[in-house]
C-alpha cells in the first residue's frame, strides 16, 4: 500500500478576489500587486522543512495558479494539469454581491444554501469529476510513496475534499494562499483519504 501526501494550496490574490467577485474559468486574471507581495512574503516565511519534503509540484494552467506556483517554489518546475482550472460560475461570473443583490436568480441560489445549479455554470458533479481526474494525474506513480504540492483553485479544493471525505462542499472553503494537507493510501489503482487538515504554512512543523 503506497502513501501519498498532497498539499492543496489555493492561488494568490487577483484584483477580482479583492473585489469579492466570482472569478472562475472564464476570467484568466493574473495576481494583482497585493497578491504578488503576499505570495512573496509567504515564500520567505515558510519553513525550510516544508520544502524539503516536497517531491513534486503540480499546478493548474490558469495564470493565477502558475504565477503562485512560480513564486512559492521559485526555480522548481511544476507539472501543469489542465483539469485544475476554477469552476465556471456562469451567470455569476465576474459579479459580486453588489451586482447580484436583489437579483431573483441570485436570491433563489442563496435560499437553496448554494445547492441549486447556477444558470450557465459548470455543474458541481462535473467540477468534482474533472478535479479527481486531475488529482489522479498529479499522483503519478501510484506505487510510490511521495509528497506532492498542488497549486490550484478554491473550487478544486472544495470538490476534491468533499468527494474524498463525504463532508459538506462549503466546509472546505479556502482563502487565497491557504492550504489543506490530504493523506492518501493507494493500492496502485484506487485511493482512500485517511486524514486531512488545514495547514498553516507560516508555522509548518
Percentage of the chain lying above the pLDDT 70 cut: 100
Average pLDDT, the chain: 96
What is the reported pLDDT for 189?
82
Confidence (pTM): 0.96
Only one residue has cell 488545514, namely 198
Query: How many CB atoms neighbour CB 83 within 10 A?
Result: 19
What is the reported pLDDT for 104?
95
What is the reported pLDDT for 174?
97
What is the reported pLDDT for 188?
81
Tell me the pLDDT tens digit for each residue of 93-138.
999 999 999 999 999 999 999 999 999 999 999 999 999 999 999 9
d(CA 85, CA 127): 9
Sequence ranges of the domains in the chain: 2-90+123-203
Nearest to residue 90, comparing CAs of 177, 176, 4, 155?
Answer: 155
Could you give the 3-state DSSP secondary structure of residue 62?
coil
The stretch 163-179 carries a mean pLDDT of: 96
Tell me the pLDDT tens digit for each residue of 47-64.
999 999 999 999 999 999
Task: Give the distance between the most distant pair of CA atoms in the chain.
Answer: 53
Which is more confident, 5 or 203? 5
Query: How many CB atoms neighbour CB 106 within 10 A?
Result: 17
The stretch 172-186 carries a mean pLDDT of: 97
Kind of pairing between the strands at 146-152 and 2-10: parallel
Only one residue has cell 500587486, namely 33
d(CA 76, CA 136): 21
- Cell readout for 131 is 478535479
Residue 141 β-bridge partners = none
What is the reported pLDDT for 138?
98
| pLDDT band for position 205 (cuts 50, 70, 90) | low
**For the chain, how many residues are written?**
205
Q: Domain 2-90+123-203, CATH 1.10.3470.10 — does that match?
A: no
Amino acid at each position: 500500500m503506497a502513501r501519498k501526501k498532497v498539499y492543496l494550496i489555493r492561488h494568490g490574490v487577483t484584483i477580482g478576489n479583492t473585489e469579492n467577485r466570482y472569478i472562475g474559468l472564464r476570467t484568466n486574471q493574473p495576481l494583482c500587486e497585493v497578491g504578488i507581495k503576499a505570495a512573496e512574503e509567504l515564500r520567505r516565511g515558510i519553513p525550510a522543512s516544508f520544502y524539503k519534503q516536497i517531491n513534486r509540484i503540480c499546478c493548474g494552467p490558469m495564470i493565477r495558479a502558475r504565477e503562485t506556483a512560480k513564486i512559492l517554489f521559485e526555480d522548481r518546475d511544476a507539472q501543469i494539469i489542465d483539469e485544475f482550472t476554477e469552476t465556471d460560475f456562469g451567470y455569476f461570473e465576474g459579479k459580486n454581491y453588489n451586482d447580484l443583490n436583489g437579483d431573483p436568480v441570485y436570491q433563489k441560489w442563496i435560499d437553496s444554501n448554494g445547492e441549486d445549479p447556477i444558470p450557465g455554470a459548470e455543474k458541481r458533479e462535473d467540477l468534482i469529476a474533472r478535479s479527481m481526474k486531475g488529482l489522479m494525474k498529479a499522483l503519478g506513480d501510484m506505487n510510490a510513496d511521495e509528497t506532492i504540492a498542488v497549486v490550484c483553485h478554491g473550487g478544486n479544493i472544495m470538490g476534491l475534499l468533499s468527494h474524498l471525505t463525504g463532508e459538506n462542499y462549503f466546509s472546505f472553503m479556502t482563502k487565497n494562499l491557504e492550504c489543506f494537507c490530504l493523506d492518501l493510501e493507494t493500492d496502485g489503482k484506487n485511493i482512500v483519504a485517511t486524514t486531512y487538515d488545514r495547514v498553516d504554512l507560516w508555522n509548518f512543523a
